[in-house]
Amino acid sequence: MTSHAEVSADAAALLQHVRSALPTVNLGLRTESAADLDFSASLYALTRAEELRQVSDWTAEQKAAFCRWQFDSQHAHYRQHYPAANLLILLLDVAPIGRLYFTRTAAELRLMEITLLDGFRNRGIGGAINGALIHIAGTDRLPVALHVEPFNPARRLYERQGFREVETRGIYLFMRREPAGRNGCGGDV
């Protein structure tokens, strides 16, 4: 369930668009609260699991502590540098299934983070959320931008949806999707 009073206009529009795209999926969202941080940290740890499998000299507890430290650092960075960001928990029915962080500036709509629990990946939810963000940004003729690791499987989805690599920033690819009609790029999703 979602109280639209709890979320921004962009988040409410996103939810409406996703529900239209996936009418049989009872997706909801809510603003992330302090009570959600352990869940969000566990989602972050999922994104690091593959690379940490290669670290054989750390215990499971050390890996967990490292992931929590990284999550806490990332979350503090987001709060400091993107104070107006939408930090959202994704729900299926009423159960949390992921997190979505995005922000709007005068220049772009920035997808900061989207992570779903393993059982909810490859079911069209992430693609529908990205499509909604593209639609919302397009209504204001804004590009959508994001950072992604080159090996992240979501990169293929972003490319199918019209995102193009702009540059490499550290370990991340910076990708951008122009709105339809701008510089001959963009288009329907």
Give per-residue pLDDT as tens, 137-156.
999 999 999 999 998 889 99
- List beta partners, residue 92: 27, 95
Both tokens of residue 64? 């967990």
pLDDT value of position 6: 57
Task: Report pLDDT for 187.
Answer: 52
* pLDDT at position 182: 56
The residue ranges of the chain whose pLDDT is under 70 are 1-6, 181-189
Long-range contacts of 15-24 (CB under 8 A, 24+ apart): 15/132, 17/128, 17/131, 17/132, 17/135, 17/136, 18/125, 18/128, 18/129, 18/131, 18/132, 21/124, 21/128, 21/131, 21/132, 22/124, 22/125, 22/128
pLDDT tens digits along 7-36: 799 999 999 999 999 999 999 999 999 999
Alpha-carbon span 74 to 80, nearest angstrom: 10
Instruction: Return the bridge partners of 114, or none.
Output: 100
Taken in order 169, 172, 178, 179, is the CA torsion positive or negative?
negative
Mean residue pLDDT of the chain comes to 91
pLDDT at residue 56, as a whole number: 87
pTM for the structure as a whole: 0.89
Which SS3 state, helix, strand or coil, does residue 31 take? strand
